[in-house]
Amino acid sequence: MSKQSAPGNGLKIRRLGIDTGHDFVIYMRRDCHVCRSEGFTAHTRIEVDSGDRKITAVLNIVNHGLLLQGEAGLSERAWTKLGVSEGHVVTVRYAKPLDSLSQVRAKIYGKRIDPDGFLDVLGDVVSGRYSDIHLSSFITACAAQALDTNEVSALTAAMIETGDQVSWPNSPIADKHCVGGLPGNRTTPIVVSIAAACGLTIPKTSSRAITSPAGTADTMETLAPVNLSAAAMRRVVEREGGCIVWGGAVDLSPADDILIRVERALDLDSEGQLVASVLSKKIAAGSSHVVIDIPVGETAKIRSAAAAASLARIMTEVAHRFDLKLAVTTSDGSQPVGRGIGPALEARDVLAVLQGKDSAPADLRAHALTLAGSLLELCGTAAEGAGEDMAAQTLASGQAWAKFQAICEAQGGMRVPPVADHRKPVLATRSGRVSALDNRKIARAARLAGAPVSKAAGLEMHIRLGDTVEAGQPLFTLHASASGELNYALDYIGTHQPVIVIEP
């Protein structure tokens, strides 16, 4: 028997092989002596203590068969997080009252949360003490009672402090980020390759999709491993000057990853959370110079120049408090960038640009060069006004493509993006001119087709704004790994017309 503070509440732990997703679940028998003496009921939040680690889990009560007397079961994620072996004895008790919830309630009623308050909340979030109900209330309150600059700074600091932090021996440390919302806008692998080829240090960490069909990490994962530890990421950067990895795997701002799951379920992404999410990842990653891309369009995440200006203002103010140099650029968000939407389909566009193919999407290429140029200037590598030319030469010469391949190899080996088994073109029902595209509906269709969970899924655009089409001509092709998902996306498109507006 392992060390026990309260042997009366000891239970032998068993792995039941039940995957409950992100939830930590503990299973106990209804007639378990601990359950009865402590007064636990189904859905009680329980602290499980292995002696070395503690987790907070939700109780599910088992009637018969699954467990012996004196045993408790754990769900897969709880098992992994607690890190024990079969038969280890754990102690269980009521989870302590969530005192930090008073911060959330105060916020709901319009009060400000101070830096200690955010630290309390995010500390509880990271330690798994917030249930979905609590997380969702925090996210919703921070959206409904917009965070001011002090609060966004405090939230950013708390996100940094409750996670790992990376520091680098050299300077500048370059980085870029796109505020997202525009399907297919996958410039990062191109910008990182150009910047690193020009001698900059650019340790890029990216997130997975929030509400979009693909995040940079999802796309990059079809080309190379992205779940690198902090140490592995450092080795890649030392060797190649740059990397493109998933931020969550190195535990930078882990609170952000937990909150993002809830934002995704709500399809909600507030300004304050957005700024804190972006900047906390950059600062924790040790970045000093960052280019921010804000696509603006009626159906992009940021819908107006005014909204972009507001976001740029608060982001610049908060960055300044952390001594982070920022260059914010806005771009055309009226239609998807490139052709592919979904991890593997976007990866193919990225490869075409890097390889200098004639078929490469011109808009993706141009947009990547603008951002790379801005970064080269911000970091002082190129003179003002000369950044974009330097970027274009680095791409044309093949140096960027060589650098990208080297980075992929350093991250664990280059991969070939998967191809979907199920495809279906969606045809124009009339002839005319393409006058509008709904980015949100296109993104939704790509998600329903299975992206980003299914890497090969998504859609491939065949037209752009202003194109003339004939009735019966394919507008885009849906890609899916399962027929159920393909039909689901088709149903959605059928019932949510118009996705693409064609005027006679």
Least separation in angstroms between CB 364 and its own copies: 28
Token representation of residue 271: 């300004």
Q: Per CB under 8 A, which of residues 432..461 are in contact with its own copies? A: 444, 448, 450, 453-454
C-alpha torsion 141→142→148→149, nearest 10: 160
Position of tokens 């009735």? 471
The yes-or-no answer on residue 363 being catalytic is: no
**In this chain, which stretch among 13-21, 235-243, 286-294, 434-442 interacts with its own copies, using CB under 8 A?**
13-21
**Interface with its own copies includes 22 (CB under 8 A)?**
yes
Applying CB under 8 A, among 47, 51, 88, 108 the residue interacting with its own copies is: 108
Q: Determine, following the binding rule CB under 8 A, whether residue 27 of this chain makes contact with its own copies.
A: yes
- CA 445 to the chain's CA centroid: 19
Which sign, positive or negative, has the C-alpha torsion 58, 63, 66, 69?
Answer: positive
Nearer to its own copies among residue 394 and residue 481 (C-beta):
481
Task: Provide the b/e sequence for 238-263 (b: ≥16 CB within 10 Å).
Answer: eebbbbbbbbbbbbbbbbbbbbbebb
For residue 5, state whether it binds its own copies (rule: CB under 8 A): no
- Is 210 a binder of its own copies (CB under 8 A)? no
Question: Structure tokens of 97?
Answer: 């009252």
Return the number of the residue (39 or 385) whose C-beta is nearest its own copies.
39
Integer Cα distance of 284 and 254 in angstroms: 11
Tokens in use for 299? 């159906």
Please list the alpha-helical segments (H only) found in 39-163: 76-82, 101-108, 115-126, 132-144, 149-161
Residue with Cβ nearer its own copies (94 or 396): 94
| Residue 454 CB, nearest approach to its own copies (Å) | 6
Q: Does 4 bind its own copies (CB under 8 A)?
A: no
Provide the 8-state DSSP code for 185.
-
Question: Which residues neighbour 238 within 8 Å (Cβ) at sequence distance 6 or greater?
Answer: none
Cβ at position 497, least distance to its own copies in Å: 15
| β partners of residue 174 | 289
Examine residue 97 and tell whether it contacts its own copies (CB under 8 A).
yes
Q: Give whichever of 97 and 169 is closer to its own copies, judged by the CB atom.
A: 97
* 466 interacts with its own copies by CB under 8 A: no
In residues, how long is the chain? Answer: 504
Q: What does the angle CA 316 – CA 320 – CA 323 come to, to the nearest 5 degrees?
A: 135
Report if residue 32 touches its own copies, rule: CB under 8 A. Answer: no
Confirm or reject binding of residue 41 to its own copies (CB under 8 A).
yes
Q: Is 56 in the site for its own copies (CB under 8 A)?
A: no
Out of 269, 293, 349, 363, pick the active-site residue.
Answer: 269
| Enclosing H/E stretch for 422 | strand 422-427
Q: Read off φ and ψ for residue 479, nearest 5 degrees.
A: -120, 135
CB of 21 closer than 8 Å to CB of 77: yes
Among 56, 100, 140, 381, binds its own copies (CB under 8 A): 140
C-beta of 110: minimal distance to its own copies in Å? 8
Site for its own copies in 470-489 (CB under 8 A): 480-485, 488
Return d(Cα 58, Cα 61) in angstroms, integer: 10
Each residue 351-390 as x (binds its own copies by CB under 8 A) or -, in order, gives: ----------------------------------------
Contact between 204 and 175 (Cβ < 8 Å): yes
Minimum CB–partner distance for residue 208 and its own copies (Å): 14
Among positions 229-288, residues that touch its own copies (CB under 8 A) are 262, 265-268
Q: DSSP letter at 438? A: -
Contact segment (CB under 8 A) with its own copies among 129-137, 160-168, 282-290, 405-413 equals 129-137
From residue 170 to residue 189, the character string flagging contacts with its own copies as x (rule: CB under 8 A) and all else as - is: --------------------
Q: Pick the binder of its own copies from 105, 112, 239, 320 (CB under 8 A).
A: 105
Of residues 70, 94, 310, 362, which one binds its own copies by CB under 8 A? 94
Q: Give yes or no for residue 21 binding its own copies (CB under 8 A).
A: yes
Which one among 135, 194, 314, 463 touches its own copies, defined by CB under 8 A? 135
Give, in order, the Cα–Cα distances in Å from 147 to each of 124, 156, 275: 20, 11, 10
Question: Smallest distance, Å, CB 417 to its own copies?
Answer: 18
How deeply is 136 buried, as exposed, middle or buried, from its count of CB atoms within 10 A (0-12, 13-18, 19+)?
middle
- E strand or H helix that includes residue 46: strand 45-49
Tell the smallest beta-carbon distance from residue 476 to its own copies (Å): 20
Distances, alpha carbon 142 to alpha carbons 114, 125, 356, in Å: 13, 15, 44
What whole-number distance in Å separates Cα of residue 165 and Cα of residue 160?
7
Given the rule CB under 8 A, which residues bind its own copies? 9, 16-23, 27, 30, 36-39, 41-43, 58-66, 75-76, 93-94, 97, 101, 104-105, 107-110, 131-137, 139-141, 143-145, 262, 265-268, 444, 448, 450, 453-454, 480-485, 488, 492
| Residues annotated catalytic, as ranges | 269
